[in-house]
Every structure is written in C-alpha cells, then in structure tokens.
Structure 1
C-alpha cells in the first residue's frame, strides 16, 4: 500500500513536471493581464476579458463585434457600456447614453440612471452635466429629489438655437440621479437631451442627434480587489483538483 501511494505521487509529480512547459507556452501566447487588447483599446487592470484578469463580474470586459469592428464593453446593472479607454489609475472613459425628453421616441419628462450596487460612480472632478435644446431649465436631481445643479438653455428661435445648450458643474459624486426638463417659455416644448459627460472641448461636436457622449466612470478600489492571477498556477490547481 505504501509503495503504491509513493508511486502515485511520483507519477503525479512527473505529470506536473511535463505539463508545466506546455501550460507556460500556452500562457505566453496570451497577453498578460493589463495588456489585453480589443480593437484598438488596451484593457487596463483591474479590468480584463480573461477570467484570471478580473476579480468581480463588473470588472469583466467583453470584446464584441460591431459594425465598426471589435469594441470592448462592460456591463453595469444590465446596461452594456462601451469602453473608450483608460485615462486615470481609477477611472475609465465610457460611451454614456444620452437621455431624451419630448422627442419622437420618448415622452418621458425625466430619465433615471442607477449605478447602485456596483463600485462605479460619476466623479464630480471628471464630469459635467450638459444639455442640448432650447428654452428649458435642465436640472439634475438625486433620487431623493434634491437638486444637484442645473442650467438654462437659450430661448428657442429660428436661427438654430435648438442646437445650442448649456453646461454646469456636478457638485457631488453620483451613483444615481434623475434628469428633468422644465419649459421656461410657451414655445419650449421641443426635443431636448441631457447627459453626464467628460468634456474635451465643452459641447463641441454634441448636438440633438447625439446618442452617446464620453464620460468617466470611477470606482472604489476597495470593492475591486486584486487582479492578474497566474494562469499557469490556476491551471495546475484545476489539474490537482481533477486528479484528487
């Protein structure tokens, strides 16, 4: 019995010894954590597409084929957000959906966004609140209906004022908020949009037809843990589990 047990462990060590170079060679063909690429975007830690490169599901990046090639996405509370890049050590640039008010495809006067239950938030240092339209008071509210700021659009006219807008600072970090539009004049009941965004040149390039805007998502590092586990070690651990 003792001889058989010793032989068993000797064979197991031999298998591991022979498999290590194979596993390491396979690992070397895959990008290291923090260096994975989707399209022309490098996926920075703590995010990752390989299961060994992220700790929690909200840090998982999926590389999806789109009409414009492969694009990286993260899923936040059921919404797929395209990743545009990593700008800071604890922030990524995403394509943030625009909320529409009084437009053909929606009659809602307000739109809610909720990041609750995730480590993500919209940083007041990296983002602004903006609106496109005319003749409205655009406000951003907390879910408790407390005003967090707002701005007044120019009055509507026939000279393209509907393509103008307004911007204002965000005073606090946000995990959830509500956008509201209040008509300031009788002729203000026109299509308008509102959004949180990270401006490179204020409202340059953003108009009433814009569906997404760049915005910075920050996260609480204490909720994200460590990443970048060794794929070889993980594979060997699974092998040991299978053998035993």
Structure 2
C-alpha cells in the first residue's frame, strides 16, 4: 500500500509538472515579430486591422501611413482620448509608432459588406449632398473635396471614409465638436464638425456607412502642388 501511494504521488507530481513544461515550451516558440506584437491591436480592430464587429472599432488596414502615424501620436500625446489606446501607446517612441503605422498601411484584407441602416431616404439624400457637394450657404466643404472623389482617402495623410461603421463616424464627429478629439492646428475637422447639426451628422454617417467599396480602392497620393487646392488648411496634412 505504501508503495502504491508513493507511485501515485509521483504520477500526480508528473501530471502537475507536464502542463507547466508544455506551456513553457509553447511560450518559447512564440515569434518575436511585429505582427505578433500587434495582436494587441487586432484584438479590437479585427484580424489584419479590418475593423471590429461591434461598430466602434474602425478599420485601420490600408489607411495611409501618415494618417495612422498622426493618430498614434495624438493618442500618445493626449489629442485623442481613449484610455485603452493611451495605455497601449503611452510609452512608445516616434520610430516605433511609425513602424506600426507602416505595418497596417500595408495590410489590404477585403472589406466587409456595408451594414443596413434604418435611415429614411430623405436623410440619406441629405447625407449624399453634404458628402459630395457640401453646403455653400454655411461655408461647409464637401467631404469628397478632401477625402477624395471616391472617398477612399489621399495618401499619405488623409484617410478614406468608406468601410467605417455608422456609430464610429457619429462618435468621431461628436468628439471633434466637443473637443475630445483634436489634431494639429489648424484643426480643419474641428472647423467642419462645428458647423454640423445632429441631423447632418446622422445623415452623413448613415450615407457613408452604406456605400460599397470600389473594386479598385487604391488610395491615390496627394501631390505636392495639390495641397493648396484643398478647401481648408489642416495641420495634420502637410506637403
């Protein structure tokens, strides 16, 4: 009986040690690559940065590298306020943030299908007009005049607006209005957002969220001589 007890004790000890050893062996096999380290990003922003599933985490894959870099700087330096992002990038260097931006700019996974909306046809038409034509009476430029005719952005600093969830778009326009999201002065988006009323924001966000992504959604590059043609001067957009 004493022999059996000693044998069982040894077996139990072995069983307890094996999972620890297996875990240690597995941990040693995890590659120390940028892709592996950025799992912390894709946990919220979706695989390859293609967007989260809850409507609040935007697509970062394929966004212009300069734009992504500026946003990471803004989170780190307090111009944008979101605790999780501030915690993640709070102690990262400029060089590392630029490396992260470049990684996601090079990712081009397929876009998800646009989500259905309960917006009325009149609201969607209002959104379409504001996005494509603006409102001269309010000195409000069209979204397309900065974000590109196809709304897919202009590299290296201006992001596309297609493929973003309606709730995220509403939240960001509201953040510019309240000052909880800022950019380098002059803050052109704050100027635009300040002229929008709640119905404008709902209309623009609903219309954008319903648009299909062009098959050839390559982000064109804004040339040096084209910066002066933008309707507003933006501190985050520099030649």
Q: State TM-score, norm by structure 1.
A: 0.30
Higher strand fraction (1 or 2)? 1
